[in-house]
């Protein structure tokens, strides 16, 4: 079970502002929240130590980098055993085309969000990096026509304190060392 962290309204306000712009200076953040800059710095440091803030993310435009085609790959691994899954996960995470990797329940074991140059590049990726692996039993490809960002995680306004769970998962792009 994940540990919980009790957050007061000031903590929640700081988190909302940082979600919208993680580059906000402590001086500007403190002014918007209504506390001293040193208090703001201490609170953000505590939020990092407690695991509520897990990283910062630089978002790139894949199309401007020559990867205008994005797809979701549903992957079934057989047999689904730890000694095969570990190396598979590390290999997929290391691919420059991989944007996100999810371990799932259901008929598919993994969902991989990839960005490639075009359909020929997608075909190369699927054949050379996925179906060529002995443990990969099946890959289904779905092209992404359009994508919208959602969020932020916290509600836009609340006047009460809240509890946020923290835990030992390495989920989400903010926890990914490639994006920090």
pLDDT 10s digits, 75-124: 999 998 999 999 999 999 999 999 999 999 999 999 999 999 999 999 99
Residue 175 lies in a domain: no
The count of structural domains within the chain is 2
* Residues 19, 80 within the same domain: no
pLDDT at 170: 38
* Residues 50, 67 within the same domain: no
Instruction: Residue 129: give the domain boundaries.
Output: 63-144
Examine the fold and report which residue of 59, 86, 101 is the final residue of a domain before the chain moves on.
59
12 within 8 A of 154, measured Cβ to Cβ: yes
Q: Is the pLDDT of residue 140 over 50?
A: yes
């Amino acid at each position: 079970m994940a540990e919980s962290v009790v957050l007061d309204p000031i903590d929640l306000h700081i988190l909302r502002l940082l979600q919208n712009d993680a580059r906000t200076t402590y001086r500007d953040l403190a002014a918007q929240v209504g506390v001293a800059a040193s208090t703001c710095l201490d609170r953000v440091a505590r939020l990092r130590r407690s695991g509520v803030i897990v990283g910062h993310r630089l978002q790139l435009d894949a199309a401007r980098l020559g990867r205008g085609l994005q797809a979701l790959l549903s992957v079934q691994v057989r047999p689904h055993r730890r000694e095969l899954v570990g190396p598979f996960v590390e290999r997929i995470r290391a691919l420059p085309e991989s944007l996100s990797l999810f371990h799932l329940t259901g008929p598919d074991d993994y969902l991989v969000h990839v960005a490639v140059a075009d359909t020929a590049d997608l075909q190369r990726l699927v054949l050379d990096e996925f179906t060529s692996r002995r443990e990969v039993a099946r890959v289904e490809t779905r092209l992404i026509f359009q994508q919208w960002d959602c969020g932020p995680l916290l509600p836009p306004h609340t006047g009460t304190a809240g509890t946020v769970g923290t835990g030992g998962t390495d989920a989400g792009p903010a926890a990914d060392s490639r994006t920090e």
